Amino acid sequence: MVNHPFKVGFSFGVTSGIITTLGLMVGLHSGTQSKFVVIGGILIIAIADAFSDAFGIHVSEESENKHDSKEIWASTIYTFLSKFLFALSFIIPVIFLDLTIAIVLSVIWGLLVLSILSLNIAKEQRKKPWKVILEHLTITLLVIIITHFVGDWIYSTFGFL
């Protein structure tokens, strides 16, 4: 049985790491076509957003008034580490591959991990896995599509600057 702080921190951190990092990567790729900018964005997300999410979980867990200080800090640390490390995992293909290929592989990697996480959640809650997976992948793909078009719009509007 997985303890509450690990479950909260890991599931939140990985999910947030997938959605925010992919959204940022796809938007920056569409808007700049720059490997340098995408790598910088990933590093910034890995640091700033991991701290932000960890602090958000910390305050959320405190506000429930159900957990002791040790559990709250454990959730905070697990959130930070899972978000930080997972966001950084997206940097590997960007460094070593053509940027467009790296983006495609990153999307596949993120959707695969999210599907596995969603499958585990569905099993634990005794829900139909395909419904949980479809719900989570739909939200993620929506973010990816929107950020792609926002990046395109930024490039077509301000790309000459």
Measured CA to CA, the distance from residue 160 to residue 59 in angstroms comes to: 43
Burial of 36: CB neighbours in 10 Å, binned 0-12, 13-18, 19+: exposed
CB 113 within 8 A of CB 44: no
Looking at every residue in the chain, the average pLDDT score rounds to 94
Segment 122-138 shows an average pLDDT of 95
Tokens 């999410």 label which residue? 53
Strand, helix or coil for residue 65? coil
Angle between helices 35-44 and 4-32 (to 10 degrees): 160
3 band by pLDDT with thresholds 50, 70 and 90:
confident
Give the predicted TM-score (pTM) of the model: 0.91
- Mean of the pLDDT values across residues 104-116? 98
Q: How far apart are CA 23 and CA 145, in angstroms?
A: 8
Mean pLDDT of the 100-117 span: 98
Terminal CA-CA length for the chain: 54
pLDDT tops 80 at residue 21: yes
Return all residues near 129 (Cβ < 8 A) that are at least 6 apart: 118, 119, 122, 123
Q: Which amino acid is at 102?
A: A
Q: How many CB atoms lie within 10 A of CB 10?
A: 19
